[in-house]
Chain A
């Protein structure tokens, strides 16, 4: 992709490891990441900004007597890499031993991935991205004069990850991605709708900017004339975005092995138990074709894999990285990710889901709605990040949302809150759609859950 070739990156990694082991480290692991992104931003109804970002760097984990040090740099020269490895060695020396430390990964064969890299995306010029953004924008703006485009963007990424460690792992993989999204509101008289969004996110060049523009506008218009509703236990149809927000901040945390081991998870000791409706089957598939989180290996150089999480409502497996797998005497599931504030090379691994897939049902979205007598359709949850990741409790605003009465969308709902526990929502799933869609870590259809507490007036 960028100036650096895979062998250059691997050599930088090897260099760092050699310095650390020569100093006296027991083991060492280098991680390198590069990212090149191009973005066109839409602001206040017009194309306003065009950005290109380039960043690359190296992070090295060094272990001395089971105590872990880490250092990183974004200056990729021999001298700087040497200093970084030495710094990591010193921080390991300054730190405290961890009796559960189980070592870095050993070399394994990686499966190949499909549709995770597209040359066409790499070749897209900023002029072409501006054109895509214009199509999206014009489609939304011409749909209805009450629609206002608040913001939007078209963004391509090319990125790579490299893992090298002192056990002989030498791994390089690269991927592409395109994201197009538009956020709209509609205004009529004194009424302003909440933000309504539509998007495409793909690993290959397969997008439909016209559709995005039109759908984002349509959603905003249908959010007008919103009314408050009475409180009650209602049937709720969750769109994928709403479901993603809910699962990401609750359930996905509860199946991370570190949270389970540290007694933070309500699912501790529940493997083999029924924890969700029989309709619910979930697996985490790090190798899914065209998956947004698909890579050959994770951020510790462990092969990505497909891991069953829930089968017909029964909990099967937690998500592991090397450290937690060693503690439980099992194999890592390849779920180590470097994520948080800053670039990947600045970070040490945490456990995260890859393509967390809730398997499809057979009903069309229209049929899901048709089956609801008294309920709401929810497309976004405001405040999902304030949920309790431990207990799975949430208390959020459903917006935009629509009231469903006797099998039909009746009107937009204003300011309704949903409250409950994620485990109850999963237990009360009564129907699954057939409209699979991916958003960040989630791949899922619309789902219907019964008796969700809705607080209205």
Chain B
């Protein structure tokens, strides 16, 4: 592959590109969907393709093509150069790339059980076993969808700085949604797990555990009442503090969005939260869903501190934004696949541990909420965030009370970071799929964390 990619790069340079990069992939994917104890479909497929990105006079050109045919890729590189030239006529501030070390590497993954070699029947039986556990939980469970996904194969990367990397890819992902119903009350609960390890992980994270978790989440909500809207103190569980780290803060600290005018634009080196707040974006946690060795610009992944003791100490960069900030790239450039260009994405983003126990944090709350499990979240550049919640409880006089449903909470990210007044000593990392025009598997987490005041958007 190296020779073929090198020829494409040479050709791009001859056409006047100051930078050329080629990413090629050979990936295999299996998706299995079960709905209410039946296997709806088993999908298997091959995706070959390549993406070529060039820089001409400071403007980007990009061409992707679902093929690995050398002749077609030669056409693509001239296409990319033509595209870049068209854009370059209007460029006011030419893009430049931060220097990185030249790398030649082959990253192999050899899991105990490579999902590509696990028989389809075994995967199907795992889904059906989980489905049975879920329906056996309670007669109020009415429906359940389970989606299993594995991706394996190899990515190839080469650029005009003479970096060449072959990197195996491996993803396992299992999402479960359970619907429960009692009379007119409808509820849904979900659970998602994901790894960059082999299929053997399901021996410890068993279908029983996953199924029961999802089922209980939906059943709990049948008993739940709608909360009163308004501002309250809250203890935020690891899953939601992760979503907060990713959505409410993380996106603002992606350097492309920071430069696009996020509220962090002038905050580097400044205090943005209480002293006990520490947030990290980490691409090095073994087996976690957001972990990889090299990013899609050939930069090694690393552990990047974003907030230290309440102060912004770093942003997430690709080579272009790192150059703008006069700093080093952090290895956050990721592309979903050959169809997309690499952009700045988070990896595993989390609050680091503190020293408080859950009970201690509860004690001081007279009336508030324990927000445990999320359904989705979204942030805006002005720092307004919203996190939809599927599992939450009231806190009354220092004790956990009734479950509440249809909760979401919202606020301003920086104001909320200042209101963090206790950080737990536990830690958990969870899995999500983030959409920023393209999808990326991301990890997110942290400890139980207490916030003095958030806006709870409750029902009528």
Report A's interface with B, CB cutoff 8 A. Answer: 38, 40, 43-44, 46-57, 59, 61, 67-75, 80, 84, 87-88, 90-92, 94-96, 98, 100, 125-127, 130, 133-134, 148, 150-151, 185, 187, 192-195, 231, 233, 258, 262-264, 266, 341-343, 346-348, 382-383, 385-391, 393-397, 399, 414-415, 417-420, 424, 453, 455, 457
Contacts and interface: CB of A to CB of B under 8 A. Distances in A.
A419 B41 contact: no
A419 to B, nearest CB: 5
Given A95-B41, A127-B86, A417-B229, 4 more contacts: A51-B341, A195-B380, A385-B376, A390-B186
Contacts of B460: 233, 419-420, 424, 453
B457 interface: yes
B230 interface: yes
A240 B270 CA distance: 39
Contacts of A96: 38-39, 124, 128
Given A96-B124, A395-B408, A49 B341 contact: yes
21 contacts: A44-B259, A46-B92, A50-B62, A50-B83, A51-B63, A53-B62, A53-B63, A54-B65, A92-B42, A95-B39, A192-B381, A264-B142, A382-B384, A383-B386, A383-B410, A386-B378, A390-B179, A390-B187, A396-B457, A417-B410, A453-B459
Contacts of A233: 460
A95 B124 contact: yes
Interface in B332-386: 337, 339, 341, 374-386
Interface stretch (B44-52, B108-116, B277-285): B44-52
Contact of A419 (B67, B95, B143, B458): B458
A131 B266 CA distance: 32
B44 A263 contact: no
Contact of A69 (B41, B80, B179, B378): B41
Interface residues of B, number: 93
B399 interface: no
A455 B62 CA distance: 45
A194 B412 CA distance: 11
Contacts of A393: 405-406, 459
Interface of B: 29, 35-36, 38-49, 59-67, 79-80, 82-84, 86-87, 89-93, 95, 119-121, 124, 128, 142-143, 179, 181, 185-188, 229-231, 256, 259-263, 337, 339, 341, 374-389, 405-408, 410-412, 433, 439, 455-460
A415 B388 contact: no
Contacts of B188: 264, 388-390
A71 B408 contact: no
Contacts of B411: 415
A52 B62 contact: yes
Contact of A262 (B35, B61, B339, B377): B35
A387 to B, nearest CB: 7
A386 B44 contact: no
Contacts of B121: 94
B382 A192 contact: yes
B39 A420 contact: no
Contacts of B179: 262-264, 390
A302 B382 CA distance: 45
A346 B44 CA distance: 9
Contact of B260 (A44, A348, A419): A44
Contacts of B35: 258, 262
Contacts of A397: 384-386, 410, 457
Q: B36, B42, B82, B439: which has the most chain A beta carbons within 10 Å?
A: B42
